[in-house]
Amino acid sequence: MGQQVLTLGMSGTEGFVPIDSELFISATKAQELHQPFRDGRSIVAKRYRVAQSQTKPQMAGDMIRRAQRAGIEADYLLADAWFGTKPIIRLADEQLLTSILRMKKNTMKYRLTECKGGQAIHRDRDVNTLYQSCIRCQWQKIPEQPYQAKALDVELNLSSSPDEADQWIKVRLLFVRGIAQPEKAQPGKHDWAVFLTTDTNLEPHRILELYAMRWAIEVYFKEAKQYLGFLKEQSSHYAAYIASIHLTAIRFCMLVIAKSKHQASGIADVRQQLTANATSIDYAARLWQVFRSVIAGAMDEMKMLIGDTASQIMATIERHVQSFFVQALQLDVRTLRLEAK
């Protein structure tokens, strides 16, 4: 009803943990307060004003700053297309984080430098124009993966208004082509996505394996809604919403700690799926380049014993891994078509 939960989390080799959350209130369909706050100076009243006045990128920026002030260190900032904005990229750059963001196919301009006749020519183009002029029909296969991709190094001006001084930085745009539907030989003309990173040395496969770790936050929300009482309190008071979001995060963290450190039985065993889902993100990412060759070598040696079954096993493994990355990278046909619209 016009309210959305925004969460910052840490995804790493030990799994995923939520760090901070805010409740964003949109300008439409939002529920009004049933009654005013008793004390306008209270924490919940202040948070309500923030929820009404700030945008999602502004909230994300505040959460990142709070996390870093608390001593939480990270190497990368991973976010979906909601946060593929200049303020977020600038914030990450200021906080010494490498951005890896899904970008919208909007009118944001990037500067492409071309050399003609010994002179450097600068052209400002959006991603759709770059796709048509530099990417289309020039796809390159990602080794051992079903995707095709093309990286393009450009410049982006992070200044948000004409009154600000130009702030150009180098970024790498990674255009990724989705997988063709079974009835088609090639993906459709809209079946592509674009990612941005501020590290122009990152290879395409590395960009994708890092971005895939963002899927852990989707796993967290799924687990929170199904099993951890996320926004299930029998109260419509705004304070109850805020409490519910953070109590859910505490429950999640307690289960992760119990499972990872104490191997607790009972409820922790029941929720084993919770940490298994998050850990699989890192497992798949770390084995992105090596797992297929290792397993393929083993299967080759076993062919003498099990015959054609080895090929069937290998094909099954490949289908599962490809399915995982289609899901984690949101490169399924439906998502890409909706994004194009």
Collapsed DSSP state (helix, strand, coil) of residue 203: coil
* 107 assigned to some structural domain: yes
Rank 100-104, 269-273, 287-291 by mean pLDDT and report only the highest.
Answer: 100-104
Q: Which residue has the higher pLDDT, 322 or 152?
A: 152
Instruction: Give the structural domain span for 154.
Output: 98-235+322-340
Listed residue (52, 4, 58, 6) closest to 27, CA to CA:
52
* 313 assigned to some structural domain: no
Work out how many domains the chain is built from and give that number.
1
* 87 assigned to some structural domain: no
* 245 assigned to some structural domain: no
**Confidence class of residue 155 from pLDDT cuts 50, 70 and 90?**
very high
Does pLDDT of 199 surpass 60?
yes
* 140 assigned to some structural domain: yes
Q: What average pLDDT does the segment 144-165 reach?
A: 86
- Determine the longest span between alpha carbons in the chain, in angstroms: 77
Q: Are 182 and 173 in contact (CB under 8 A)?
A: no
Listed residue (69, 65, 62, 89) closest to 78, CA to CA:
89
Q: What average pLDDT does the segment 114-120 reach?
A: 73
For residue 310, what are the contacts with CB-CB under 8 A and spacing of at least 6?
299, 300, 302, 303
* 145 assigned to some structural domain: yes
Q: Are 180 and 164 in contact (CB under 8 A)?
A: no
Q: Judging by beta carbons within 10 Å of its beta carbon (0-12, 13-18, 19+), is residue 213 exposed, middle or buried?
A: buried
* 270 assigned to some structural domain: no
* 14 assigned to some structural domain: no
Counting residues of the chain whose pLDDT is more than 70, the rounded percentage is 72
pTM: predicted TM-score of the whole model, two decimal places: 0.76
Radius of gyration of the chain (CA): 23
